Amino acid sequence: MDTMKLLLGATIALLLGALAVSWQGLNTNVKNTSPDELARLQAQIKELRAEQDKLQMQKNLQILRSEPIAPPSSSAEMEAMKLQLAQNKLALEQMELKKQNEERDAKTEDAEELLLDQRKLESKDGELRRARMISDALLMGRVKEYVEDAQYGGFVTFEVIMPENVQTGTILAIRRKTGILGQLKVSDMTAEGAIANPLPGFGDIKPVPGDELILPPQY
């Protein structure tokens, strides 16, 4: 275990040296270096230095625990030794917590960047924004059966998944993948499910069992 830690420490030191050389070279030719590359190297150097500090602290603690300790000549020395060990342990815990927080923050930043990129794309492409809103809409129900009726234009029976949001008169849209086939108006609620009638402009594509019902998104 000690040999592995020594090798790991040596490797980190070598990596730090290599990164430092790369960093100096990039600074010399900074005009030809992208900001992303500079930021990547900065983050790597910071992470390796933190890991090197952690390994050094662990090494110091191990030395303190393994070396024979001369009996303290006074209770004051004993208390001082206990305090030093406690401080070293606390420093390690704080370093580990800092590393976890940095990793969490990095993941949060990545997620925020992806969201911002998506919003930029959607601002340029209305269809992409529309598809995302349809996909994100909560599921209100699922089609059980579509019954055609020449006189009344047909009706849909469906399973109600979120009854707190579905009542008689509620307008629902039929979602299939990221598109909407048409809209329905709930006409009846029963213990077994609900019934809804197609609204004008429904289109030629008919609902099938399994189609999802959502509240129409506000584009």
> Do residues 27 and 46 both lie within one domain?
yes
Closest to 60 (Cα-Cα) out of 80, 79, 87, 99: 87
- The answer to whether residue 48 is domain-embedded is yes
- The answer to whether residue 219 is domain-embedded is no
> Do residues 120 and 165 both lie within one domain?
no
Of the pLDDT bands very low, low, confident and very high (cuts 50, 70, 90), residue 115 is low
> Do residues 26 and 122 both lie within one domain?
yes
Closest to 186 (Cα-Cα) out of 143, 127, 130: 143
What would the DSSP string read from start to end of 130-176? Answer: HHHHHHHSPEEEEEEEEE--TTT--EEEEEES-GGG--TT-EEEEEE
Model pTM? 0.45
Domain count, the chain: 2
The whole-angstrom distance between residue 215's C-alpha and the CA centroid of its chain comes to 26
Structural domain that includes position 163: 137-214
Per-residue pLDDT tens digits for 47-87: 767 777 777 767 766 665 565 555 556 677 778 778 888 88
Helix (H, G, I), strand (E, B) or coil at 152: coil
Scanning the chain, the segments in alpha helix (DSSP H) are: 2-28, 35-66, 75-124, 126-136
